[in-house]
Amino acid sequence: MDRFHLMSVFVAVAETEGFAAGARRLQMSPPAVTRAIATLEEQLGIKLFNRTTRYVRTTEAGQRYLTDARRILADLEAADEAAAGINAEPRGHLTITAPVMFGRMHVMPGIIDYLERYPDTEVSCVLLDRVVNLLEEGIDVGIRIGELPDSSMQALRVGSVRMALCASPDYLARNGTPLHPKDLLQHSIIASSAGANTADWRFHQGKDEFTQRLQPRLSVTTNDAAITAAVQGLGITRLLSYQIAPQIADHTLQPVLEDFEAPALPIHIVHREGRYSSTRVRSFIDLLAERLRANQTIS
Protein backbone atom coordinates (compact mmCIF):
# COMPACT_ATOMS: atom_id res chain seq x y z
CA MET A 1 0.00 0.00 0.00
CA ASP A 2 1.02 3.62 -0.51
CA ARG A 3 2.95 4.90 2.52
CA PHE A 4 1.02 8.19 2.65
CA HIS A 5 -2.25 6.25 2.67
CA LEU A 6 -1.00 4.09 5.53
CA MET A 7 0.03 7.21 7.46
CA SER A 8 -3.40 8.75 6.93
CA VAL A 9 -5.09 5.61 8.26
CA PHE A 10 -2.75 5.52 11.26
CA VAL A 11 -3.43 9.19 12.13
CA ALA A 12 -7.20 8.69 11.85
CA VAL A 13 -7.14 5.65 14.17
CA ALA A 14 -4.81 7.41 16.64
CA GLU A 15 -6.88 10.59 16.80
CA THR A 16 -10.25 8.83 17.08
CA GLU A 17 -8.82 6.14 19.39
CA GLY A 18 -10.63 3.40 17.55
CA PHE A 19 -10.47 1.34 14.35
CA ALA A 20 -14.20 1.69 13.68
CA ALA A 21 -14.15 5.44 14.36
CA GLY A 22 -11.09 5.86 12.13
CA ALA A 23 -12.84 3.89 9.41
CA ARG A 24 -15.88 6.17 9.63
CA ARG A 25 -13.70 9.28 9.36
CA LEU A 26 -11.96 7.89 6.26
CA GLN A 27 -15.11 6.28 4.82
CA MET A 28 -13.33 2.93 4.71
CA SER A 29 -14.40 -0.49 5.96
CA PRO A 30 -13.07 -1.51 9.40
CA PRO A 31 -11.31 -4.60 7.95
CA ALA A 32 -9.48 -2.38 5.44
CA VAL A 33 -8.32 -0.11 8.28
CA THR A 34 -7.15 -3.11 10.31
CA ARG A 35 -5.17 -4.43 7.32
CA ALA A 36 -3.58 -1.02 6.73
CA ILE A 37 -2.40 -0.74 10.34
CA ALA A 38 -1.06 -4.31 10.27
CA THR A 39 0.84 -3.54 7.05
CA LEU A 40 2.32 -0.35 8.50
CA GLU A 41 3.41 -2.08 11.72
CA GLU A 42 5.01 -4.85 9.67
CA GLN A 43 6.85 -2.37 7.47
CA LEU A 44 8.10 -0.36 10.46
CA GLY A 45 8.85 -3.39 12.61
CA ILE A 46 7.19 -1.80 15.65
CA LYS A 47 3.90 -1.96 17.51
CA LEU A 48 1.97 1.28 17.04
CA PHE A 49 -1.10 0.60 19.21
CA ASN A 50 -2.02 -1.06 22.47
CA ARG A 51 -5.39 -2.71 21.87
CA THR A 52 -7.94 -4.03 24.33
CA THR A 53 -11.65 -4.71 24.01
CA ARG A 54 -12.31 -1.27 25.51
CA TYR A 55 -9.78 1.08 23.93
CA VAL A 56 -7.07 1.67 21.34
CA ARG A 57 -4.10 3.82 22.39
CA THR A 58 -0.79 4.60 20.73
CA THR A 59 2.34 3.02 22.18
CA GLU A 60 5.26 5.26 23.08
CA ALA A 61 6.77 4.57 19.66
CA GLY A 62 3.36 5.14 18.08
CA GLN A 63 3.03 8.55 19.75
CA ARG A 64 6.41 9.62 18.34
CA TYR A 65 5.41 8.33 14.90
CA LEU A 66 2.08 10.19 15.17
CA THR A 67 3.86 13.53 15.62
CA ASP A 68 6.02 12.91 12.56
CA ALA A 69 3.15 11.53 10.49
CA ARG A 70 1.00 14.60 11.16
CA ARG A 71 3.84 16.88 10.08
CA ILE A 72 4.55 14.89 6.93
CA LEU A 73 0.89 14.76 5.90
CA ALA A 74 0.52 18.51 6.56
CA ASP A 75 3.55 19.19 4.33
CA LEU A 76 2.08 16.94 1.65
CA GLU A 77 -1.25 18.76 1.81
CA ALA A 78 0.52 22.12 1.63
CA ALA A 79 2.41 20.96 -1.47
CA ASP A 80 -0.82 19.82 -3.10
CA GLU A 81 -2.48 23.15 -2.32
CA ALA A 82 0.50 25.10 -3.66
CA ALA A 83 0.28 23.15 -6.91
CA ALA A 84 -3.48 23.75 -7.10
CA GLY A 85 -2.97 27.48 -6.64
CA ILE A 86 -4.40 30.07 -4.28
CA ASN A 87 -7.95 29.50 -5.53
CA ALA A 88 -8.12 25.94 -4.16
CA GLU A 89 -11.24 25.46 -2.03
CA PRO A 90 -10.84 24.24 1.57
CA ARG A 91 -11.55 20.54 1.92
CA GLY A 92 -11.08 17.82 4.48
CA HIS A 93 -11.51 17.38 8.22
CA LEU A 94 -10.93 20.12 10.82
CA THR A 95 -10.93 19.66 14.61
CA ILE A 96 -11.64 22.71 16.77
CA THR A 97 -11.72 23.23 20.54
CA ALA A 98 -13.12 26.05 22.69
CA PRO A 99 -14.46 26.67 26.20
CA VAL A 100 -17.97 25.23 26.57
CA MET A 101 -20.04 28.39 26.87
CA PHE A 102 -17.89 30.51 24.55
CA GLY A 103 -18.03 27.72 21.99
CA ARG A 104 -21.80 27.48 22.17
CA MET A 105 -22.36 31.23 21.97
CA HIS A 106 -19.64 32.42 19.59
CA VAL A 107 -17.75 29.56 17.91
CA MET A 108 -20.60 27.29 16.75
CA PRO A 109 -22.20 30.03 14.59
CA GLY A 110 -18.82 30.47 12.89
CA ILE A 111 -18.47 26.73 12.34
CA ILE A 112 -21.91 26.55 10.74
CA ASP A 113 -21.04 29.50 8.49
CA TYR A 114 -17.76 27.77 7.52
CA LEU A 115 -19.47 24.47 6.68
CA GLU A 116 -22.09 26.23 4.60
CA ARG A 117 -19.43 28.15 2.65
CA TYR A 118 -17.20 25.13 2.03
CA PRO A 119 -19.26 21.98 1.33
CA ASP A 120 -16.20 19.71 1.04
CA THR A 121 -15.18 20.26 4.68
CA GLU A 122 -16.05 18.40 7.89
CA VAL A 123 -15.65 19.70 11.45
CA SER A 124 -15.32 18.05 14.85
CA CYS A 125 -15.94 20.55 17.67
CA VAL A 126 -14.59 19.73 21.13
CA LEU A 127 -16.03 22.00 23.84
CA LEU A 128 -14.16 21.69 27.14
CA ASP A 129 -13.54 23.99 30.10
CA ARG A 130 -9.87 23.05 30.31
CA VAL A 131 -6.73 23.84 28.36
CA VAL A 132 -6.37 21.29 25.57
CA ASN A 133 -2.94 20.29 24.26
CA LEU A 134 -3.50 20.75 20.54
CA LEU A 135 -0.57 18.60 19.45
CA GLU A 136 -1.18 15.68 21.81
CA GLU A 137 -4.94 15.60 21.22
CA GLY A 138 -4.90 16.13 17.45
CA ILE A 139 -6.66 19.52 17.50
CA ASP A 140 -6.17 21.88 14.55
CA VAL A 141 -7.54 25.14 16.00
CA GLY A 142 -8.26 26.26 19.56
CA ILE A 143 -9.85 29.33 21.15
CA ARG A 144 -8.16 30.36 24.39
CA ILE A 145 -9.27 32.92 26.98
CA GLY A 146 -6.47 34.27 29.17
CA GLU A 147 -2.76 34.91 28.88
CA LEU A 148 -0.96 32.35 26.72
CA PRO A 149 2.06 30.44 28.03
CA ASP A 150 5.16 30.41 25.88
CA SER A 151 4.76 27.73 23.23
CA SER A 152 5.30 26.88 19.61
CA MET A 153 1.64 27.53 18.83
CA GLN A 154 0.67 30.24 16.37
CA ALA A 155 -1.73 32.75 17.98
CA LEU A 156 -4.00 35.53 16.73
CA ARG A 157 -5.59 37.92 19.22
CA VAL A 158 -9.25 38.62 18.42
CA GLY A 159 -10.65 40.36 21.49
CA SER A 160 -10.84 40.41 25.27
CA VAL A 161 -13.28 39.80 28.12
CA ARG A 162 -13.48 40.73 31.82
CA MET A 163 -14.35 38.92 35.02
CA ALA A 164 -17.54 40.70 36.10
CA LEU A 165 -19.80 40.56 39.16
CA CYS A 166 -23.56 40.82 38.78
CA ALA A 167 -26.89 40.26 40.49
CA SER A 168 -30.54 40.74 39.65
CA PRO A 169 -32.09 44.18 40.22
CA ASP A 170 -34.58 42.51 42.60
CA TYR A 171 -31.79 41.01 44.73
CA LEU A 172 -29.96 44.37 44.94
CA ALA A 173 -33.19 46.17 45.83
CA ARG A 174 -33.74 43.74 48.73
CA ASN A 175 -30.15 43.48 49.96
CA GLY A 176 -28.38 46.65 48.87
CA THR A 177 -25.57 47.16 46.35
CA PRO A 178 -22.03 46.35 47.56
CA LEU A 179 -19.64 49.30 47.29
CA HIS A 180 -16.43 47.43 48.16
CA PRO A 181 -15.37 43.77 47.79
CA LYS A 182 -15.42 43.39 51.59
CA ASP A 183 -19.16 44.08 51.47
CA LEU A 184 -19.57 40.73 49.67
CA LEU A 185 -19.12 39.00 53.03
CA GLN A 186 -22.63 40.20 53.90
CA HIS A 187 -24.16 38.92 50.67
CA SER A 188 -25.40 35.63 49.24
CA ILE A 189 -22.71 34.36 46.84
CA ILE A 190 -23.22 32.06 43.85
CA ALA A 191 -19.97 30.37 42.75
CA SER A 192 -19.38 28.40 39.57
CA SER A 193 -16.53 25.88 39.42
CA ALA A 194 -16.51 25.82 35.59
CA GLY A 195 -13.28 26.97 33.99
CA ALA A 196 -10.95 28.84 36.33
CA ASN A 197 -13.65 30.15 38.68
CA THR A 198 -12.99 29.71 42.40
CA ALA A 199 -14.41 31.09 45.64
CA ASP A 200 -11.31 33.33 45.98
CA TRP A 201 -12.25 36.38 43.91
CA ARG A 202 -9.46 38.68 42.75
CA PHE A 203 -9.95 42.45 42.61
CA HIS A 204 -7.96 45.54 41.60
CA GLN A 205 -8.02 49.01 43.07
CA GLY A 206 -5.69 51.36 41.24
CA LYS A 207 -2.33 49.56 41.11
CA ASP A 208 -3.18 47.32 44.05
CA GLU A 209 -4.42 43.76 43.70
CA PHE A 210 -6.11 41.76 46.45
CA THR A 211 -8.16 38.61 46.89
CA GLN A 212 -11.43 38.30 48.78
CA ARG A 213 -12.18 34.81 50.08
CA LEU A 214 -15.90 34.09 50.16
CA GLN A 215 -18.17 31.32 51.40
CA PRO A 216 -20.68 30.59 48.62
CA ARG A 217 -24.26 29.95 49.55
CA LEU A 218 -24.65 28.06 46.28
CA SER A 219 -21.88 26.28 44.36
CA VAL A 220 -22.59 24.98 40.85
CA THR A 221 -20.57 23.20 38.20
CA THR A 222 -21.75 25.17 35.15
CA ASN A 223 -21.87 28.86 34.35
CA ASP A 224 -25.39 28.49 32.93
CA ALA A 225 -26.58 27.34 36.37
CA ALA A 226 -24.92 30.32 38.07
CA ILE A 227 -26.63 32.69 35.64
CA THR A 228 -30.02 31.07 36.24
CA ALA A 229 -29.65 31.37 40.02
CA ALA A 230 -28.55 35.00 39.79
CA VAL A 231 -31.40 35.95 37.44
CA GLN A 232 -33.86 34.38 39.90
CA GLY A 233 -32.54 36.64 42.65
CA LEU A 234 -30.54 34.26 44.83
CA GLY A 235 -27.40 36.38 45.05
CA ILE A 236 -24.25 37.76 43.44
CA THR A 237 -22.14 35.76 41.00
CA ARG A 238 -18.91 36.34 39.07
CA LEU A 239 -18.58 35.32 35.44
CA LEU A 240 -16.83 36.40 32.26
CA SER A 241 -18.45 39.45 30.72
CA TYR A 242 -19.46 37.71 27.48
CA GLN A 243 -21.33 35.03 29.47
CA ILE A 244 -23.72 37.53 31.03
CA ALA A 245 -23.88 40.02 28.13
CA PRO A 246 -27.43 38.96 27.10
CA GLN A 247 -28.74 39.32 30.67
CA ILE A 248 -27.03 42.70 31.15
CA ALA A 249 -28.54 43.87 27.86
CA ASP A 250 -32.10 42.85 28.84
CA HIS A 251 -31.62 44.15 32.43
CA THR A 252 -32.29 40.81 34.14
CA LEU A 253 -28.80 41.17 35.65
CA GLN A 254 -26.98 44.28 36.76
CA PRO A 255 -23.18 44.71 37.11
CA VAL A 256 -21.70 45.54 40.51
CA LEU A 257 -18.24 46.58 41.75
CA GLU A 258 -17.13 47.57 38.23
CA ASP A 259 -14.46 49.88 39.68
CA PHE A 260 -12.70 46.86 41.20
CA GLU A 261 -12.55 44.63 38.11
CA ALA A 262 -9.28 42.92 37.21
CA PRO A 263 -7.62 43.71 33.87
CA ALA A 264 -9.29 42.24 30.79
CA LEU A 265 -8.32 38.76 29.61
CA PRO A 266 -7.24 38.34 25.98
CA ILE A 267 -8.94 35.96 23.55
CA HIS A 268 -6.72 34.19 21.01
CA ILE A 269 -7.25 31.78 18.15
CA VAL A 270 -4.34 29.33 18.32
CA HIS A 271 -3.26 26.62 15.90
CA ARG A 272 -0.42 24.14 15.67
CA GLU A 273 0.50 24.52 12.00
CA GLY A 274 3.47 26.58 10.85
CA ARG A 275 3.76 29.07 8.06
CA TYR A 276 2.44 26.55 5.52
CA SER A 277 -0.88 26.00 7.26
CA SER A 278 -3.55 24.31 5.17
CA THR A 279 -6.23 26.16 3.28
CA ARG A 280 -8.96 24.73 5.52
CA VAL A 281 -7.19 25.99 8.67
CA ARG A 282 -6.41 29.44 7.24
CA SER A 283 -9.94 29.85 5.90
CA PHE A 284 -11.54 28.95 9.22
CA ILE A 285 -9.24 31.22 11.23
CA ASP A 286 -9.89 34.14 8.87
CA LEU A 287 -13.67 33.60 9.07
CA LEU A 288 -13.79 33.21 12.85
CA ALA A 289 -11.42 36.12 13.51
CA GLU A 290 -13.61 38.43 11.42
CA ARG A 291 -16.73 37.34 13.29
CA LEU A 292 -15.18 37.64 16.76
CA ARG A 293 -13.59 41.03 16.11
CA ALA A 294 -16.97 42.36 14.99
CA ASN A 295 -18.67 41.08 18.18
CA GLN A 296 -19.09 43.99 20.58
CA THR A 297 -19.50 41.73 23.63
CA ILE A 298 -15.88 40.51 23.38
CA SER A 299 -14.07 43.54 22.03
Written as one letter, the residue type at 157 is R
CA–CA distance, 154 with 135 (Å, rounded to integer): 12
**pLDDT the model gives residue 91:** 85
What pLDDT digit, counting tens, does each position of 271-282 carry?
Answer: 876 544 678 888
Question: Going from the N-terminus, what domains does the chain have, and what CATH number goes with each?
Answer: 3-84 (1.10.10.10), 92-142+272-298 (3.40.190.10), 163-260 (3.40.190.290)
Q: CB 143: neighbour CB atoms within 10 A?
A: 21
Helix spans in the chain (H): 3-16, 19-26, 30-44, 60-84, 100-102, 108-117, 169-175, 223-231, 241-249, 279-293
- CA dist list (Å): 145 to 101, 127, 163, 291: 12, 13, 11, 16
3-state DSSP helix/strand/coil % of the chain, to nearest 5: 45, 25, 30
The residues of the chain scoring below 70 in pLDDT are: 1, 78, 81-87, 150-152, 195-198, 273-277
pTM, two decimal places: 0.72
Element (H, E) at 177: none
**pLDDT the model gives residue 276:** 47
What pLDDT digit, counting tens, does each position of 190-229 carry?
Answer: 999 886 566 789 899 888 888 888 999 999 999 999 999 9
